A and B are shown apart, each in its own frame.
Chain A
Amino acid sequence: MDGLELIERIDRWGTLAPTAIAHESDGRAITYQELKTHSDALAGCLLDELPDDRSPVMVLGHKEPELVVAYLACIKAGHPYIPLDTALPAQRLEIIRASSGARLTLSPQGVHERITLHASARPSETPHEGATQMENGSFERVAYKPEDPFYVIYTSGSTGTPKGVVISLGNLNSFLDWMLVEHPLVEQDEVFLGIVPFSFDVSIMDLYLCLYAGGTHRSLTRDEIGDPARLHRALARSGATAWISTPSFARLCLVERGFGAGTIPNLRRIVLAGEVLSHELASELLDRFPGVPLWNAYGPTEATVLSTSVQLDRELLGRYPDVPIGFPRPGGSVLVMDENGQPVAEGERGELVIVGPHVSPGYLNRPDLTSQAFFTLGNQRAYHTGDWGRALGGLLFFEGRHDDLIKLHGYRIELGDVEAHLKALPGVQDAVVLPTWRDGQPERLVAFIILSERPVRDDFQATLNLRRHLSERLPGYMLPQLYRFVDTFPLTVNGKADRKKLAEMLT
């Protein structure tokens, strides 16, 4: 894919299939014609509002059709977008706004045909509202170069400040080129389930593959996913042909015994990514969806959604004790390196280093963090994942992290991020956050807290207070579920909180 072929293709469906549904969520839909008209109009407004400088624009919402309009409008106007979910509390949004330098936030206001601009000319000003005329569609699209930033996705940072991963148009095109070969799509006959929120980069795969093929992106809301009966009604009605989710979500659905190929008869592919896939879940999916290709895939946000993939079958599962994360994608490579940056021998454990055209230019406005994690190998961009792994016969296996980053139900969480915010709360003297584990995977977060004054009787009330305060700073998926109040932490010989001993207190 060259230049803006992606956007051109999506626009073309506006002429070829004007009434086809491009995106649908919570009973509200947008056609391809509307998507084209509205995104052109909004792009025109953005061109008036912002200089042609590739500065990022925040787009805030939860799965609404207007978000897709806004993403395309940003690109058409020459600005990368930062997809943000309403699960993020205001304080975190403010940190992202300040650190990204975004001058504008786009967010839907519930009325289908209109998008309200929350604009502030300078970061110091209070955002003001001003409705936009969507009919005013005359504008000239800004020329985008492969190195221009396309989107910026914010992930948890170890010190409590999220960091923005920049993905360029060239990165995205490289990813989509690979995906379109691996998953041949039937034009105008695909329904992609939108399971993860747009702030999580797995959604880049389902949204853009779907729009590229002129399919329908059927996005499930948080409320639907959180209500078992509603979820199963939505899945049964979806007509989905593509399922891309975390293993956690698949497991959640499989609790319903009757759930399987009969429920989603048109399903053509299942792709799981974002966390470790167990043998048991993979086998169960093969049983429930016979004949539907099942893929496992892996990749950090820093290397454009996915870097490895493999189609699973019983023979492959039977050959290895762990489910492989796959082969490196074509055009890229995944090296297993020791601490000196030298490749380890076949089958040895080392750090996974990703090399190729899909590796990000770095973190937005953070040259310090960028130079720590990214480097150039030969003439290609490379990224230190911080993930342990090993390669056997070309297949890669994931073996955990060598720091405090965990993947909880697909969400990337730096334990230090949660700890920093806990320690900033009034009354908290010190805090350590640890995951509990089940079958080798993190299950939930536990916070060990030293309070300046411990409530005499009511630990539960203290828990609720902490949770409430923390939820003003962190999204729900980062909140510890369990809180244990202690008077002191056991210490290591270096005088640091002994995480191992604390973890033992949980068993």
Chain B
Amino acid sequence: MSVTSTTASKVLDVLVRITGTDEVRRNLDLPLFDTGLLDSLGVAELIIGLSDTLGIEIAPSEVERDLWSTPRQIIAYAEERIKA
């Protein structure tokens, strides 16, 4: 995966805004929950942010936290959704 892809960079922009750190760009395997960068309300905000930015509807009921725990996983989810 290249972070130069448009989707990836949009996802990372949203993540930087919500977590308040650029580290999410530097380390795509950063564990977002374990580091305290994301919590339940942060995930909700991320879902809204990604839905708006990418123009796709993401239902929280489809979001398994274990599959959304690093920037790389979230980018993969978004790219998959956009392809579909």
Contact = CB atoms under 8 A, between A and B. Distances in A.
Interface string B28-54: 000001011101111110011000000
Nearest to A231: B60
Given A476-B36, A479-B36, A482-B20, A229 B64 contact: yes
Interface string A439-481: 0000000100000000000001001100100010000100101
Main secondary structure of the interface of B (DSSP, over half): helix
Given A228-B44, A463-B21, A258 B37 contact: no
A62 B26 CA distance: 36
B60 A256 contact: yes
B35 A464 contact: yes
B36 A481 contact: yes
B59 A227 contact: no
B66 to A, nearest CB: 8
Interface residues of B, number: 27
Main secondary structure of the interface of A (DSSP, over half): helix
A409 interface: yes
Contacts of B39: 226, 476
A418 B7 CA distance: 38
A205 interface: no
A248 interface: yes
B74 to A, nearest CB: 13
Contacts of B19: 481
Contact of B41 (A232, A248, A256, A258): A248
Contacts of A228: 40, 43-44, 47, 60-61, 63, 65
B51 to A, nearest CB: 9
Given A229-B63, A229-B65, 8 more contacts: A228-B63, A232-B61, A252-B40, A255-B44, A256-B61, A460-B22, A476-B39, A481-B20
Interface of B: 19-23, 26, 33, 35-37, 39-44, 47-48, 57, 59-66
Interface of A: 225-233, 248, 251-252, 255-258, 409, 446, 460, 463-464, 467, 471, 476, 479, 481-482
